[in-house]
Amino acid sequence: MNEIFPGLWIGSCPFKENAPNLLRFGIKSILTLDAAPLSDGVFDCFNRKFIRLLDEPSQDVLDILEEALDFIDLSLTTGGILVHCAMGVSRSATIVIAYVMRKNKLSYDSALEVVMKKRLVYPNIGFVNQLKLFEVMKWKVDRKSPVYMQYASIRTFRGSNIAYNRTDPSTTIATRDPVQPATFKCRKCRRALFSSASLVSHCLPDSTTPSSESVDVDGENKVEISTVLIKGITLNAVPTPCTRDELFTDPLEWTRSYTHEVEGKLYCPGCQAKVGSFNWCGERCVCGTWVTPAFHFNRNHLDRVDRRLASSQSTTQPLFSVPNKVEPTSTSSSPSVAIQ
């Protein structure tokens, strides 16, 4: 058990034998973040609050964060408080770090440093990402803010409810709509990555409203947060399709392993070559629209196969092609042919 600053303690699950020691340290309240509350009896003399929280990256910490922080604030007006989970390393640390962030208007990294000076803690990656969103929202859970609404939309894509595109372009594309016949393959190993049926179209942002706002995160880095949440269409916009031909797709079956990070690089599952990037909070197209979530593929690393031609001659078309050079004939006896 460690005191982060006067009155705020963090630790593991207390044994009943430790109850007198808690009182000796001036602790009058206990916040439990675990699968089950403390047993009744010896801890009845404390002001207690139980919030069910598992140490899993998929747990929604933002949903219970302000409830926990407000309880800490209230408890500190009457005495000390112990914030604990099973081991005092991840769940309780997440709440205590968030409290330090809000109280002192600190970035996640700065607040983590404050806590680490008193106790070694290791919040899981899902909790860390949510604390960084808490930082972007200026130390409050603003459910009407663009970043929170994007976060909420991300959660609908994750886990069992995620709308993964399960089409295997290497085996089923020939049976799909002939209007969308193309397969996109890794240029290095030739593995089929997705079909054109998986491409996500979007519209141009409303010209009367900003497409994003720049939020100062830690005094040095700025994070752009989308103000256009659904395919670039705002309430007062006249939808105009984007024609920049960027390659954004739905979440694909082979991208399931990318659900524990907010953003990162996309690698070909066949050869691990870099083929693009992803960002569950969205990415801005060159037209100015944010696509959420964004699975953005780099055309320079892909080849496009047109199935209408592949059935007869297995034609592979690079996404950027150079016209073939026609060499002039050197035989004078050959008849001249006009090349049109």
Looking at residue 322, its pLDDT comes to 39
What tokens does 289 get? Answer: 């629209």
Per cent of the chain over pLDDT 90 is: 48
pLDDT tens track for 251-268: 888 988 887 777 899 999
Q: Does domain 2-141 have CATH number 3.90.850.10?
A: no
pLDDT tens track for 206-219: 543 334 444 433 33
Extents of the domains making up the chain: 2-141, 156-318
Instruction: Look at the pTM and tell me if it is higher than 0.85.
Output: no
Catalytic residues: 85
pLDDT band of 151, cuts 50, 70, 90:
confident
Does the pLDDT of residue 45 top 60, yes or no? yes
- Residue closest to 95 by CA, chosen among 76, 117, 112, 77: 112
Does the pLDDT of residue 229 top 70, yes or no? no
Q: Is pLDDT larger for residue 281 or for residue 233? A: 281
